[in-house]
């Protein structure tokens, strides 16, 4: 329930706190809008981004009058998000997939079908590296949705998504370095040996890969070339990975990776960086002209390594510019995502 709330679900009640929740059994349900934003959290590599209905409003001179303040927060690590992305491709590309008709040529597609008792509701929730879309199909007053073979919500989803992806470059979900692709023995659920007959590929957070199969014999089946890295090399790579990932800086947005289950056991501190820049300019002359510039940048990277890996990235950027020219002709800019609600916002 905590994670649902972090992903923007606002309709939970006390009564939802029971096992039916795992199957999506909710007292009030979830609106398609909130469902789309929650799925987009997984698609956006673990970051929740509040939905908005417009990007900005301009006047006829092109100046921005309004911009919505869009809340963003990290819910999952990108590693956790990738593993869920990968799991959700199975309904599309798996042998027993329930949404194989949602496939788009060359694209990774994640999709989950859904239904409720007596077929009152039909859902298709899914995403690609480009778009997240959610379709609900049903009646205002509960009635069984009759259909022939294919989930009608899924058919709408597949048709819309196929069209908006036409002409786009093919794209796959990107596997973060700390996620390992491993060949697993289907009989034991352990890492496959050459003697294991039944195998499949599965993704694991590094350091959570299971031991070698204890039922069959043979040498280890290698999937990932990083398998043999010593711990030092892994730490080096983690640093590089984090550097490579760093800032897409969002104005006025604080991003924190919260993955509580990974947070508990921390041994070493591989990388700790702190940059703090502060500049302040103030001009005041006799003509009553007043310029005030304030730039504040704060970048914080933290990596902790153990059997579990935890990545913390804090990016905080604040830009503030105030210009005040003469007493009659006053102009003032606030370069933030905040909506300036008055012309003079001093
Ligand atoms: Zn085996």
pLDDT in tens, 101-140: 999 999 999 999 998 888 889 999 999 999 999 999 999 9
What is the reported pLDDT for 107?
A: 96
Sign of the C-alpha dihedral computed for residues 200, 205, 206 and 208 taken in this order? negative
What is the reported pLDDT for 233?
A: 54
Residues of the chain with pLDDT under 70: 224-346
Q: Which fold has domain 2-164?
A: Beta-lactamase (3.40.710)
Residue 55 has a CB neighbour count (10 Å cut-off) of 9
Is there a contact between 49 and 127 (Cβ–Cβ < 8 Å)? no
How much distance in Å is there from the Cα of 212 to the middle of ligand 1? 8
How much distance in Å is there from the Cα of 190 to the middle of ligand 1? 7
What is the reported pLDDT for 68?
A: 94
How much distance in Å is there from the Cα of 184 to the middle of ligand 1? 8
Global pTM exceeds 0.75: no
What is the reported pLDDT for 311?
A: 45
How much distance in Å is there from the Cα of 221 to the middle of ligand 1? 10
How much distance in Å is there from the Cα of 160 to the middle of ligand 1? 43
What is the reported pLDDT for 224?
A: 57
How much distance in Å is there from the Cα of 209 to the middle of ligand 1? 15
How much distance in Å is there from the Cα of 197 to the middle of ligand 1? 7
State the burial class of residue 328 (Cβ atoms within 10 Å of its Cβ: 0-12, 13-18, 19+): exposed
Location of each CATH 3.40.710.10 domain in the chain: 2-164
How much distance in Å is there from the Cα of 194 to the middle of ligand 1? 8
What is the reported pLDDT for 251?
A: 43
How much distance in Å is there from the Cα of 290 to the middle of ligand 1? 75
Could you tell me which of 314, 338, 220 has the C-alpha nearest to residue 258?
314
DSSP 50: -
């Amino acid at each position: 329930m905590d994670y649902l709330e972090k992903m923007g679900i606002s309709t939970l009640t006390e009564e939802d706190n029971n096992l039916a929740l795992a199957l999506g059994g909710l007292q009030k349900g979830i609106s398609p809008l909130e469902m789309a934003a929650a799925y987009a959290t997984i698609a956006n590599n673990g970051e929740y981004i509040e939905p908005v209905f417009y990007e900005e409003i301009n006047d006829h001179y092109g100046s921005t009058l309004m911009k919505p303040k869009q809340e963003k927060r990290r819910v999952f690590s990108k590693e956790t998000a990738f593993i869920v992305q990968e799991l959700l491709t199975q309904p599309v590309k798996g042998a027993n997939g329930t949404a194989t008709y949602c496939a788009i040529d060359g694209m990774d597609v994640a999709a989950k079908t859904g239904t409720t008792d007596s077929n009152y509701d039909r859902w298709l929730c899914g995403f690609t590296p480009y778009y997240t879309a959610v379709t609900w199909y049903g009646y205002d007053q509960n009635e069984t949705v009759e259909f022939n073979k294919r989930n009608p919500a899924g058919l709408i989803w597949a048709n819309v998504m196929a069209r908006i992806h036409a002409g786009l470059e093919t794209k796959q979900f990107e596997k973060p370095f700390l996620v390992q692709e491993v060949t697993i023995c289907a009989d034991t659920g352990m890492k496959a040996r050459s003697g294991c007959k039944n195998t499949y590929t599965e993704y694991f957070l590094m350091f959570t890969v299971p031991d070698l199969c204890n039922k069959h014999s043979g040498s280890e089946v290698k999937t990932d070339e990083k398998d043999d890295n010593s711990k030092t090399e892994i730490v080096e790579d983690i640093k590089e990975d984090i550097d490579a990932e760093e800032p897409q800086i969002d104005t006025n947005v604080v991003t924190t990776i919260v993955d509580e289950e990974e947070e508990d056991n921390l041994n070493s501190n591989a990388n700790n960086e702190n940059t703090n820049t502060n500049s302040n300019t103030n001009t005041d002359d006799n003509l009553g002209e007043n310029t005030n510039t304030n730039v504040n940048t704060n970048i914080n990277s933290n990596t902790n390594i153990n059997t579990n890996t935890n990545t913390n990235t804090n990016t905080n950027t604040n830009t503030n510019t105030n210009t005040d020219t003469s007493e009659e002709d006053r102009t003032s800019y606030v370069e933030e995502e905040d909506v300036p609600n008055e012309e003079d916002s001093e």
